[in-house]
């Protein structure tokens, strides 16, 4: 029986969350979405976050993706202190270090497949036009989308759109891929196909963090974190049946 | 019950967003208010036919419009009588002319007062359907040769000059020096044909000529029979006239082929030359206002559409719960109904205020001349209320149906699943872009035209007319025809008039506060109109290709008083008169020309001694005039009028009968100079009237006051259009951003910085600006090309209008786009992605 300690030996921490809190303030109501979250994600890990609706897993993913700011606590990503940085710096880190895969694909409808994949690269200041073009072509080939390069999202099936979204997510070789219910809008066949893609990326060394409510999808990851009422209630390796108390 | 639930819900929604509601009501109020006001203005001044006390239209029958003079010509009564006798489509027709008369008091105890007079056929009041409130109107016998001189007074003259004397009918007064009996008083507000204060009958001799005359001298008004149109009468009139033209002597044959018709019939309100001359401007104004109404509808529709988009999920839930389509549409309409009705109420008040201000402005414009047409009295009557109600209904439908269409055409399942929320469909995106382009183009047109017109009239007001205006007063002198008869220009009559003018001048110049006195038929800065002239030995092959000039007559010592200077040659002096001024026909007729004319026509510098004469294409010519001097340049007429010429010629007053304007250079107080003038006039001859006494600066500004008022309305239209465009573009931008919130959040998630997001929208705004301004400027140029048929637009005005306004619009659009796009970047990206 392997332990978490054994699995994490010789691995570099990519993401560290320390005493992270997120409180939402509306007109008269305070909602504690996350309470004292402590979490480390290692390079090359395949992590899934599960929990019932409203438990805070998507909020956790937003904070991980720098799509939102924590109310308090520390967040380190790939050596950057990402807790209290300005919006431009957050955007730069998101662009370079994070790739997103959304439940509703979130492709830009006015852009072609190739342009969608190129979009995050176009925000980079360290790449020239030719380099971008090469990276896009490489992505298209990898995901077998070359023949769809000039098509628009409305001309693709759900599964194809999600493939484009995944291609877009990894085009810039980010440090971590964040996937929010990537199969939520897909039928079982396409869902399997997308999960197989993520498996493949992980095999190639990608660090993946996936939010899902589907236990079967969750078990495909190496490590599963359960969230409940804004707290991490369990954190275990999938190969081990022992939950590690948190 | 559901009816009240929906109403209460709509009210609650509106009260929940007070800023949105107030802005929408304001937009509706401004758009509708301007529409109703402008409709009332144009309808009353121009478009609504005059009916007076009848049930059919009153029309005018007059001679052709002369571009060079900027006015219509009278017609030959020989033909007018043929029309009256042979037309089967008229209830009645009356011939008339207008002029000026002076009137004394009862028993000659009061000094004379100048009045606008109408000289008419006996049946003028019958055709109008208005009878005197005291005494009687005219009878046919009043026109008989040798009949007693009679007159009918206007109400205001009766009240103010005769103190409302109830026994006035039957009294005798001096009218232009001729004893005349007062036979009637007209009711208050009646001034037909336009500004008449006193009416007198025309003699039978003038009314019924037995043969055609070279020049027309009468006008006519008529009333159509019931159920007939102006077009029908125009056709009938053409047939009648063409028949008679065939029988005319050869020298009148040209009348049959006169372009536009030698005699024309049209709506009576267009007899006002200022209105006719600027008709295209008024039509442009109406078009602009209708466009503003459209812009208002688009804006409100857009604002409501934005709200529907924000609430689209709620709408989808209602549909999922089974709301009938009709009820959903009605729910969308209620908000629109409240906004438009409340806005309509405010609009009515705004329009009322505009009407009151306009009536005050008209009083000011015509205070000096007393020439406000009697129908230029605005009010918000039944027509205006109907227009307002129709506009409100139109607005409710347009602004309510757009959100309803959006609500019904959305993807229900997609909306409920959250999958497609925040995604802007291609069609909606194109519609938004088209809206912004339209608003940019519309506001550009209105603002460019308004700015150019205002800039031009401002320049005209401050133009250098080549004269000194400081410490100068002017007045028009009216010598009573009874004691100073025209007598067809007979030498004795001319001498008597000129003797009076020179005596007045001499006595005034003796006074210590008067430096110089001069006479002009039209002073520089006023008048205008032009005619062709011919240089001896250099006639053009076609007469109308001869150059044009403006010809005025002046006294022998005119230049000093206005600061003009003789540059070459000499001025008029006694050498230009025969030893007996009654024998002027046998001496050479002198003329003085301006520098521009000398330079352009005689570039060799040999103008002195050359000869010129005026003429027209009908064969009429003056005598040859010998150029004796060259005077400094001035402009007669406004610098913005197309009828103002660059070339001026001046003839000597002594040789012609004319109504002269006097100009007095004084020192000290203006009021003292005015008193001096009136005192000397009364001393020499109390029957002579001086009117329109004012400063020279005011005289020059007068003709432009009406144009300025119209231009100010245009500017207000422009500012309203700008406000609507700014709010509309802001709403469209905000709406677009709401609809693209998911896309924006995705881009930010992928690493787009805030500046890049803002830049994205600014770039799109620039594209819309490009199309909108290209369209707007093109339309503006077309509108201006129509306006320049009657007005000259200065070069600076083009620059201000075509460069300045687009820059202003660019800044406004960029700000209107920047604000909502920077607002969304202040939110966290997760809000747009609905991560929760």
Residue A243, domain member (yes or no): no
Coil, strand or helix: which one is B628? strand
Judged by phi (left if over 0) then psi (alpha if -120 to 50, else beta), residue B164 lies in left
Spell out which residues of chain A touch residue B828, defining contact as CB-CB under 8 Å: 62, 67-69
Residue A139, domain member (yes or no): yes
Candidate ranges A232-241, B301-310, B767-776, B799-808; pick with highest mean pLDDT: B767-776
pLDDT above 90 (res B446): no
Contact status, residue B463 vs residue B796, Cβ threshold 8 Å: no
Other CB atoms within 10 A of residue A122 CB = 17
Give me the mean pLDDT over the B205-222 stretch: 86
Q: Which of A69, A109, A119 sits opposite B750 (nearest CB)?
A: A119
* pLDDT at position B716: 78
Coil, strand or helix: which one is A132? helix
pLDDT tens by residue, B575-612: 777 545 555 555 568 899 999 999 999 999 899 999 99
Q: What is the CATH number of the domain that holds A158?
A: 3.40.50.300
Tally C-beta pairs within 8 A across A and B. Answer: 82
Mean pLDDT lowest among A58-72, B328-342, B377-391, B569-583: B569-583
Coil, strand or helix: which one is A5? helix
* pLDDT at position B530: 73
Residue A222, domain member (yes or no): yes
Judged by phi (left if over 0) then psi (alpha if -120 to 50, else beta), residue A67 lies in alpha
- Select from A228, A227, A210 the least CA-distant residue to A219: A210
Spell out which residues of chain B touch residue A96, defining contact as CB-CB under 8 Å: 751
The tokens describing B22, both together, are: 């107030």
* pLDDT at position B252: 79
pLDDT above 60 (res A6): no
Question: How many domains would you assign to chain A?
Answer: 1
Residue B125 DSSP code: H
Q: Which of B423, B424, B828 sits opposite A67 (nearest CB)?
A: B828
* pLDDT at position A16: 93
Element (H, E) at B109: none
Contact status, residue B713 vs residue B285, Cβ threshold 8 Å: yes
Spell out which residues of chain A touch residue B749, defining contact as CB-CB under 8 Å: 65, 67, 94, 100, 106
> Nearest chain B Cα to A93, which residue?
B751
Coil, strand or helix: which one is B605? coil
* pLDDT at position B484: 83
pLDDT above 90 (res B130): yes
B384 to chain A, closest Cα gap in Å: 47
pLDDT tens by residue, A100-115: 999 989 898 888 999 9
Q: Which of B429, B751, B822 to mutate to test the interface with A (most CBs of A within 10 A)?
A: B751
Residue B544 DSSP code: G
Residue A70, domain member (yes or no): yes
| Residue B495 binned pLDDT confidence (cut-offs 50, 70, 90) | confident
Give me the mean pLDDT over the B770-780 stretch: 92
Q: Distance between CA B367 and CA B177 in Å, rounded?
A: 26
pLDDT above 90 (res A228): yes
pLDDT tens by residue, B10-50: 888 889 889 888 988 988 898 899 889 988 988 898 888 88
Contact status, residue B422 vs residue B749, Cβ threshold 8 Å: no
Cα–Cα distances (Å) from B50 to A24, A145, B20, B54, B137, in that order, read 70, 76, 44, 9, 21
Angle at B710 between CA B65 and CA B436, to 5 degrees: 115
Three-state SS string over B436-470 comes to: HHHHHHHHHHHHHHHHHHHHHHHHHHCCCCCCCCC
> Nearest chain A Cα to B421, which residue?
A104
pLDDT tens by residue, B719-770: 777 777 777 777 777 777 877 888 899 999 999 999 999 999 899 889 989 9
Contact status, residue B576 vs residue B558, Cβ threshold 8 Å: no
Element (H, E) at B42: helix B18-42
Q: Which residues are within 8 A (CB) of B306 and not within 5 positions of it... i.e. 6 or more apart?
A: B731, B734, B735, B738
Contact between chains at A185 and B833 (C-beta distance less than 8 A): no
Q: What percent of chain B has pLDDT over 70?
A: 89
Spell out which residues of chain B touch residue A120, defining contact as CB-CB under 8 Å: 750-751
pLDDT above 90 (res A160): yes
Q: Which residues are within 8 A (CB) of A9 and not within 5 positions of it... i.e. 6 or more apart?
A: none
Query: Where are the extended beta strands (E) located within B391-528?
Result: 472-478, 514-520
Q: Helix crossing, B325-365 with B279-310: angle to 10°?
A: 150
More confident residue, B281 or B552: B552
Contact status, residue B629 vs residue B570, Cβ threshold 8 Å: yes
Spell out which residues of chain B touch residue A178, defining contact as CB-CB under 8 Å: none
* Alpha helices, H only, A148-229: 158-171, 188-203, 215-218
pLDDT tens by residue, A88-102: 888 888 888 999 999
* pLDDT at position A198: 92
pLDDT tens by residue, B369-428: 778 888 888 999 898 999 999 989 988 888 887 777 777 776 555 555 544 444 445 666
Cα–Cα distances (Å) from B355 to B348, B350, B376, B524, B707, in that order, read 10, 9, 11, 34, 17
Residue A246, domain member (yes or no): no
Q: Distance between CA A231 and CA A56 in Å, rounded?
A: 8
DSSP per residue over A68-126, as a string? Answer: S--SEEEEEETTEE-SS--HHHHHHHHHHHEEEE-TT----TTS-HHHHHHHHHHT-SS
Residue A125, domain member (yes or no): yes
Three-state SS string over B244-269 comes to: HHCCCCHHHHHHHHCCCCCEEEEEHH
Contact between chains at A109 and B830 (C-beta distance less than 8 A): no
Q: Distance between CA B200 and CA B574 in Å, rounded?
A: 40
Give me the mean pLDDT over the A171-191 stretch: 91
Q: Which of A67, A116, A136 to mutate to test the interface with B (most CBs of B within 10 A)?
A: A67
Residue A69, domain member (yes or no): yes
pLDDT above 80 (res A65): yes
Element (H, E) at B179: strand B178-185
Q: Which of B747, B752, B835 sits opposite A58 (nearest CB)?
A: B835
Contact status, residue A107 vs residue A153, Cβ threshold 8 Å: yes
Q: What does the buried/exposed string (b/e) look like for B56-71 if buried means 16 or more CB atoms within 10 Å of the residue's CB?
A: bbbbbbbbbbeebebb
Element (H, E) at B325: helix B325-365
Contact status, residue B32 vs residue B395, Cβ threshold 8 Å: yes
Spell out which residues of chain B touch residue A123, defining contact as CB-CB under 8 Å: 750-753, 756
| Residue B486 binned pLDDT confidence (cut-offs 50, 70, 90) | confident
Give me the mean pLDDT over the B544-553 stretch: 85
> Nearest chain A Cα to B754, which residue?
A88
A238 to chain B, closest Cα gap in Å: 26
Other CB atoms within 10 A of residue B253 CB = 11
Q: Does B427 touch chain A (CB under 8 A)?
A: no
Q: Does B743 touch chain A (CB under 8 A)?
A: yes
Measure the CA dihedral A41/A42/A48/A53, to 10°: 0
Rg for chain B, CA atoms, rounded:
33
Mean confidence (pLDDT) of chain A: 87
Give me the mean pLDDT over the B245-250 stretch: 83
Using CA of residue B299, residue B304, residue B307, residue B311, what is the dihedral sign? negative
pLDDT tens by residue, B105-123: 766 555 678 889 999 999 9
Residue A242, domain member (yes or no): no
Long-range contacts of B369-373 (CB under 8 A, 24+ apart): B369/B692, B369/B702, B370/B116, B370/B195, B370/B197, B371/B116, B371/B194, B371/B195, B372/B195, B373/B191, B373/B194, B373/B195, B373/B269, B373/B272
Q: Distance between CA B369 and CA B365 in Å, rounded?
A: 8
A31 burial via Cβ count (<10 Å: 0-12, 13-18, 19+): middle
> Nearest chain A Cα to B426, which residue?
A110
Contact status, residue B630 vs residue B607, Cβ threshold 8 Å: yes
B753 to chain A, closest Cα gap in Å: 6
pLDDT above 80 (res B312): no
Q: Distance between CA B565 and CA B628 in Å, rounded?
A: 14
Q: Which domain holds residue A44?
A: 4-237
Q: Distance between CA A211 and CA A161 in Å, rounded?
A: 19
Mean confidence (pLDDT) of chain B: 84
pLDDT above 80 (res B713): no
DSSP per residue over B741-806, as a string? Answer: HHHHHHHHHTT--HHHHHHHHHHHHHHHHHHHHHHHHHHHHHHHHHHTTTBPPPHHHHHIIIIIHH
More confident residue, A201 or B543: A201
Mean pLDDT lowest among B192-201, B206-215, B624-633: B206-215
* pLDDT at position A229: 93
More confident residue, B71 or B777: B777
For chain B, what is the total number of helices (H) and then of strands (E)?
A: 24, 23
Q: What does the buried/exposed string (b/e) look like for B779-804 if buried means 16 or more CB atoms within 10 Å of the residue's CB?
A: bbeebbeebeebbbbbeebbebbbee
A121 to chain B, closest Cα gap in Å: 9
């Amino acid at each position: 029986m392997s332990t978490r300690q054994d699995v994490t030996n010789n691995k570099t921490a990519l993401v560290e969350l320390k005493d992270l809190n997120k409180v939402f303030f509306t007109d008269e109501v305070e909602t504690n979405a996350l309470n004292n979250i402590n979490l480390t994600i290692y390079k090359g890990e395949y992590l899934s976050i599960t929990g019932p609706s409203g438990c805070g897993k998507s909020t956790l993913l937003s904070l991980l993706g720098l799509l939102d700011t924590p109310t308090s606590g520390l967040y380190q990503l790939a050596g950057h202190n990402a807790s209290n940085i300005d919006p431009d710096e957050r955007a730069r880190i998101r662009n370079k270090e994070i790739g997103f895969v959304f439940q509703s694909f979130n492709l830009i409808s006015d852009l072609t497949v190739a342009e969608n994949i190129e979009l995050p690269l176009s925000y980079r200041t360290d790449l020239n036009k030719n380099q971008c073009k090469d990276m896009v072509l490489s992505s298209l080939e990898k995901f077998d989308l070359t023949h769809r390069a000039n098509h628009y999202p409305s001309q693709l099936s759900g599964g194809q759109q999600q493939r484009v979204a995944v291609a877009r997510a990894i085009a810039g070789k980010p440090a971590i891929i964040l996937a929010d219910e990537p199969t939520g809008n897909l039928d079982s066949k396409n869902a399997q196909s997308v999960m197989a893609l993520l498996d493949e990326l992980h095999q190639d060394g990608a660090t993946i963090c996936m939010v899902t409510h589907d236990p079967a999808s969750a078990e495909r990851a190496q490590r599963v974190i359960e969230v409940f009422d804004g707290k991490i209630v369990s954190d275990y390796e999938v190969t081990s049946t022992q939950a590690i108390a948190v | 019950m559901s009816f009240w639930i929906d109403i209460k819900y709509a009210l609650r929604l509106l009260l929940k967003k007070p800023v949105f509601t107030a802005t929408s009501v304001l937009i509706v109020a401004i758009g509708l208010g301007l529409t109703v006001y402008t409709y009332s203005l144009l309808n009353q001044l121009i478009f609504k036919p005059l009916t007076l006390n009848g049930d059919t239209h009153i029309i005018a029958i007059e001679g052709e419009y002369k571009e060079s003079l900027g006015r219509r010509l009278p017609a030959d009564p020989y033909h007018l009588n043929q029309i009256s006798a042979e037309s089967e489509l008229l209830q009645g027709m009356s011939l008339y002319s207008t002029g000026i008369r002076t009137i004394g008091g009862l028993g000659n105890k009061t000094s004379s007062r100048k009045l606008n007079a109408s000289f008419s056929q006996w049946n003028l009041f019958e055709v109008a359907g208005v009878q005197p409130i005291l005494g009687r109107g005219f009878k046919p016998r009043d026109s008989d040769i040798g009949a007693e001189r009679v007159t009918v007074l206007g109400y205001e003259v009766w009240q103010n000059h005769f103190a409302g004397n109830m026994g006035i009918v039957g009294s005798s007064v001096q009218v232009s020096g001729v004893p005349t009996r007062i036979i009637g008083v007209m009711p208050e507000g009646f001034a037909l044909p336009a500004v008449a204060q006193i009416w007198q009958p025309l003699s039978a001799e003038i009314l019924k000529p037995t043969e055609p005359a070279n020049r027309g001298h009468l006008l006519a008004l008529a009333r159509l029979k019931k159920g007939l149109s102006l077009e029908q009468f125009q056709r009938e009139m053409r047939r009648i006239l063409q028949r008679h033209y065939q029988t005319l002597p050869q020298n009148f044959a040209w009348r049959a082929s006169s372009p536009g018709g030698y005699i024309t019939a049209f709506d009576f309100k267009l007899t006002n030359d200022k209105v006719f001359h600027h008709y295209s401007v008024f039509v442009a104004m109406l078009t602009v206002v209708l466009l503003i109404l459209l812009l208002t509808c688009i804006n409100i529709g857009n604002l409501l559409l934005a709200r529907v988009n924000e609430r689209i999920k709620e709408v989808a839930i209602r549909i999922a719960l089974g709301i009938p389509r009709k009820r959903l549409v009605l729910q969308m309409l209620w908000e629109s109904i409240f906004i438009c009705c409340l806005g309509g109420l405010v609009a009515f008040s705004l329009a009322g205020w505009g009407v009151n201000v306009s009536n005050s402005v008209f009083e000011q414009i015509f205070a000096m001349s007393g020439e406000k047409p009697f129908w230029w009295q605005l009010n918000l009557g039944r027509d205006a209320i109907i227009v307002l109600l129709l506009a409100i209904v139109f607005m409710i439908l347009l602004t309510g149906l757009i959100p309803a269409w959006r609500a019904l055409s959305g993807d229900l399942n997609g909306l409920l699943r959250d999958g497609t929320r925040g995604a802007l469909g291609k069609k909606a995106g194109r519609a938004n872009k088209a809206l912004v382009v339209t608003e940019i183009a519309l506001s550009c047109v209105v603002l460019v035209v308004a700015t150019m017109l205002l800039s031009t009239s401002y320049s005209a007001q401050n133009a250098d007319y080549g004269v000194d205006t400081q410490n100068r007063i002017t007045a028009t002198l009216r010598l009573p025809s009874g004691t100073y008869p025209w007598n067809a220009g007979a030498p004795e009559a001319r001498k008597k008039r000129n003797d009076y003018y020179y005596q007045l001048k001499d006595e005034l110049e003796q006074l210590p506060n008067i430096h110089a006195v001069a006479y002009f038929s039209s002073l520089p800065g006023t008048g205008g109109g032009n005619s062709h002239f011919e240089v001896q030995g250099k006639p053009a092959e076609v007469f109308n290709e001869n150059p044009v000039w403006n010809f005025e007559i002046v006294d022998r010592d005119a230049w000093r008083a206005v600061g003009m200077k003789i540059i070459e040659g000499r001025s008029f002096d006694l050498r230009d008169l025969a030893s007996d001024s009654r024998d002027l026909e046998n001496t050479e007729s002198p003329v003085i020309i301006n520098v521009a004319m000398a330079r352009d026509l005689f570039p060799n510098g040999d103008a002195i001694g050359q000869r010129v004469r005026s003429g027209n294409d009908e064969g009429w010519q003056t005598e040859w005039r010998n150029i004796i001097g060259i005077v400094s340049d001035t402009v007669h007429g406004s610098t913005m009028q197309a009828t103002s010429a660059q070339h001026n010629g001046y003839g000597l007053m002594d040789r012609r009968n004319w109504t002269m304007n006097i100009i007095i250079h004084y020192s000290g107080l203006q009021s003292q100079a005015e008193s001096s003038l009136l005192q000397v006039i009364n001393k020499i001859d109390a029957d002579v009237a001086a009117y329109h006494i004012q400063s020279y600066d005011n005289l020059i500004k007068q003709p432009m006051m009406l144009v300025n008022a119209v231009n100010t309305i245009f500017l207000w239209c422009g500012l309203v259009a700008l406000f609507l465009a700014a709010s509309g573009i802001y709403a469209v931008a905000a709406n677009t951003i709401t609809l693209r919130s998911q896309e924006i959040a995705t881009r930010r998630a992928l690493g787009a910085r805030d500046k890049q997001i803002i830049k994205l929208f600014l770039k799109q705004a620039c594209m819309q600006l490009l199309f909108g301004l290209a369209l707007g400027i093109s339309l503006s140029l077309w509108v201006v090309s129509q306006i320049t048929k009657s007005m000259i637009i200065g070069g600076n005005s083009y620059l201000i209008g075509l460069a300045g306004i687009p820059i202003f619009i660019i800044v406004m659009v960029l700000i209107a786009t920047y604000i909502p796009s920077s607002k969304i970047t202040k939110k966290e990206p997760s809000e747009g992605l609905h991560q929760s």
